[in-house]
Structures are given as structure tokens and as C-alpha cells.
Chains A and B, each alone.
Chain A
Amino acid sequence: MVEDPSRLCDEGGSELMRSLLSAAREERPSPAAITRTLLVVGAGTAAATLAGTGSAAGALSNLGAASAATALGTSKGAVAASLVVLKWLSAGLVAGLVGAYAVSRMTPPAAPAVETKVAETARARQPVLTRPRVAAATTAALSAEAPEVLPTPKVLPSASVGPSPSVTAALASVPAEVDPDAQLAAELVLLDRARQALAAGEASAALRALNDYDARFAHPNLLPEALYLRLEAFTVQGNRPGAELVARRMLRSFPRGPHAARARAELGLEK
């Protein structure tokens, strides 16, 4: 059995060593980067659901994968960051539920039946969520990044839980200016909705969600992603002038942003 030495940051290292290493240990990605990634991989709504079930570990145990969290060997820093993200989502969820409750108190008696029907329709559509599509060249490039030998595949149990439409609806109903945490959670859900609509080829529905997004958030956190989705929606519609307008705005506002290359391609500026 090999006994691990003490870490230089804790004892044994010089003052300079400790200074260098502790600075690196403290470094963290921004919670916004995590949120963007959730959106990009198509797990925004699922993250909201995890927050809604009380804890991520609880949600996984519902899937029969309770050991996963332990097996992941989560570090303290990772837990802290995930708690920040889940806090955002939870804050949005709570605010949304409060908002939904307030609305239900003011809703005429006939309205709940309509809401239930909408919720049922949404529930029926919920189990299948889309994953991001990547252009063929990009897929090839990304495949090259994956390890050559993949861990053994395992068949997961069928879904016993899923993102509740009432949860997503509640999140989406968060008032725009409740607080920054709630706003980010609401932004994530609305953009996820737009992305799913786009995946289903429903560009008009995607644009409705994006219009809703623009109207709600005067100071959005995920504007580059919203603009990108709008550009794609216009492209699907064949609205070339609209797409070019959005592309110009993307380049003007975020010339070094994550979607600048797509905007340049739209305008024919790419090599």
C-alpha cells in the first residue's frame, strides 16, 4: 500500500509554493459557463428537474444509479460549483412556483382545466428530449477528442422520472426581475424550449420562445446563445435578411463570442 505524502500546499512546501498552488486551487469557472454548457448539451431542463427533486443524488437514485455520485469522486470544489448552479435553478424553481401559485389564485375557475390539458400535452411530449446536432466536420473533430477505448456500455433502466412540465412551466413563469438567480434559471428554461422547438423543426415556436425571452429579460445573461438560436430559426425559415441582421448583431456585440464563426459564415465572411 502506497501512503500519499502531504500536499505541498498544506505542509512541506515553501511560502512561494503555497502561494502558487493555493491560487490555482481557488480558481473556478463561472457558474454562467456551467449553465451555458447545460444548455448546449441539451440538459438545461434536466438540470432544472434535478434541482426540483431536492438533490442531484436523489434524482440519480431514482434512476437506479445511486452509486454514481460516489463513483464520480466529486471534489469539494466541484460540489460547491454544482451547488451554485443548482441553487440558481432551485431559486428559479421556487420563484416560479410562487409565481404560478399567485397566478392560480387569480385565475377564473375554468382556467385550470385548460392549464391541465396543456400540461398533459406537454407531458406527453416531454420524455424525448433532443441532443445538440453538430455538423459532420465538427463531429469528426470532436470524435477525435474522445478516448479510443470507451468504458463498457451499460443498459440503463427505463426512465422512472422526467422533467415535469409543471416544473418547466413554473420556471418559465418566473417574473423577469425577481432576482439574478431566478432570472438565470428562467433564461435557461426559455432557451431550452427554443432549442427543442428548433430541433423539432418548429422555427416559429422557437422564435416565439425567443421573443418571449427578449421581452422578459432587459439584461440577459445568455444573449449570445439566444442570438445564435434566433439565427438558426431564421435560417430554418429561409428568412435570409433576418438571419443576416442577427449575424451582424452577433458580430457587433460579441465579435469574439462562441458563435462568431457561425455569424461570419452566414455573412459569407468565413474563409
Chain B
Amino acid sequence: MASPLAESDPPRGVLPVEEQLRLAQLVTEQFPFVWRLLRRMGVPESDADDAAQQVFIVLSQRIEQVRVGAERAFLFSTAMNVGARARRNRMRKREDFGDDLEQQLGHDPSPEELVDRRRARQALDALLDEMPLDLRVVFVLFELEQLSTAEIAELVGVPLGTAASRLRRAREDFAARVARHEARRTFGGNPNG
């Protein structure tokens, strides 16, 4: 568990009231965005609350330096860093315990099982895990968070054309992976072999 409060001492310092209000506004409005982003970036559900909390702790420590209107970009960058660390930890665990994506998927879920939203999310996360990170980020922001390409370009810090190009490649990549997954499910074969 990675709750900074767990390692904290009695509080120090002060936050002015207007910053407290701003922080409260940001937590209530942006927590779901940060939480979902972390989940799709590979943070397990069991750790997502703590990871999202970490992101907002970082924000609370820097809030006076974060320009009004730039909060979401700050949260995005911080979440990506927290997510990267979580992925590294997960990779280490896989090495330790021999876990892999195929095992994570268990068996190929049937259409009936995919009605189960939880299993659907697990299957999606396994597919996203295999995507290159730069494509994965753009894909998640566009398809799941429903941001526009222009918003994604601003958030990720790339030109609009680059964002559009990444999105196109990401969708192609995802479609190919889903098709392989469907083929594997239908025929019971190995789509990679």
C-alpha cells in the first residue's frame, strides 16, 4: 500500500483557504479521471485508490505553483509517473511469481462472460498492456476519457498532427489485437503462433 499518510508525521505548514477550496474542487472533480487513467495504465484495482491519492498529495504539495487552468495537465503528468512506477512494480512481481498476461486472462472469456463488466475490463487491460505506451495513452484518453485530439495533444505535449497520427495507429493496433483475441476465443488456437 502506498498511502503517504501511512508514513507521515503530524502535519506541518499551512495552506491558505483559497488553495484549500481549489484543492477540494480538484479532488472532487478530477479524482475519477485520475483513478481511471491509472487503472488503464496498469495499476491494479486494489492499488488504484492509493495511487490516485498519491497523485493528489503531490498536487497538494505543489498547488501554489500550479497555474489555474493547468491543473489537469499537472495531474496527468503526475499520474503517468505514478502509473509507470506501479507498472515497474508489477513487472517485478511477475518475474517473482511467474505471472503473465495469458495467465491473467485465465481462459478466453465467452460472450456471456464478457457481459460481466469486470471480466471485460480485465480482458481490456490485458490487451492494453501489450500496446506501446505512447499509443496506449492516446487511445485511453480518446476512447475512454473521450477527450478530443486537440485536448490530448495539449495534455501529452505533442503537436496536433502527432496526436492524430498516434490515435490512428493506436486504433489500428487495438483492432488487430481484438481481432486476434476473438480468433483465439473462437478457434481456441494461439493467435501469435
Q: What are the interface flags for A24-57 relative to B under an 8 Å C-beta threshold, 1 for contact and 0 otherwise?
A: 1111111001101110111111110110000010
Q: Do residues B7 and A138 form an inter-chain contact, with CB atoms below 8 A?
A: yes
Asked if A174 is an interface residue, CB under 8 A from chain B, the answer is no
For B151, list chain A residues within 8 Å (CB): 73
User: Smallest CB–CB gap between B46 and chain A, Å?
Assistant: 8
Q: Do residues A20 and B175 form an inter-chain contact, with CB atoms below 8 A?
A: no
In chain A, positions 102-141 with a C-beta closer than 8 Å to chain B are 126-135, 137-139
Name which of A42, A201, A259 has the most chain B CB atoms within 10 A of its CB: A42
B70-78, B89-97, B99-107, B129-137: which lies at the interface: B70-78
In chain A, positions 189-248 with a C-beta closer than 8 Å to chain B are 195, 198-199, 201, 225, 228, 232, 236
Cα A67 to Cα B117 in complex, Å, equals 36
For A23, list chain B residues within 8 Å (CB): 117-118, 120-121, 124
Q: A78-B29, A201-B10, A228-B6 are in contact. Are A129 and B54 (CB under 8 A)?
A: no
User: Smallest CB–CB gap between B136 and chain A, Å?
Assistant: 12
For A256, list chain B residues within 8 Å (CB): 1
For A178, list chain B residues within 8 Å (CB): none
Cα A155 to Cα B177 in complex, Å, equals 48
Q: Do residues B25 and A50 form an inter-chain contact, with CB atoms below 8 A?
A: yes
Q: Do residues A258 and B1 form an inter-chain contact, with CB atoms below 8 A?
A: yes
For B169, list chain A residues within 8 Å (CB): none
Q: Do residues A145 and B85 form an inter-chain contact, with CB atoms below 8 A?
A: yes
29 A-B pairs in the complex with CB atoms less than 8 angstroms apart: A5-B167, A16-B178, A19-B120, A20-B124, A21-B143, A23-B124, A24-B40, A29-B35, A40-B5, A41-B57, A42-B60, A50-B28, A56-B28, A68-B68, A79-B29, A133-B11, A134-B8, A137-B7, A145-B55, A145-B85, A151-B65, A152-B67, A159-B16, A161-B21, A199-B11, A225-B5, A259-B3, A261-B6, A262-B6
Residues on B facing A (Cβ under 8 Å): 1, 3-33, 35-36, 39-40, 48-50, 52-62, 64-74, 77-78, 81-82, 85, 111, 114-115, 117-118, 120-121, 123-124, 127, 142-151, 160-161, 164, 167, 171, 174-175, 178, 181-182
Residues on A facing B (Cβ under 8 Å): 2, 4-5, 7-9, 14, 16-17, 19-21, 23-30, 33-34, 36-38, 40-47, 49-50, 56, 59-60, 63, 65, 67-69, 71-75, 77-82, 85-86, 126-135, 137-139, 142-147, 150-154, 156-163, 195, 198-199, 201, 225, 228, 232, 236, 256-262
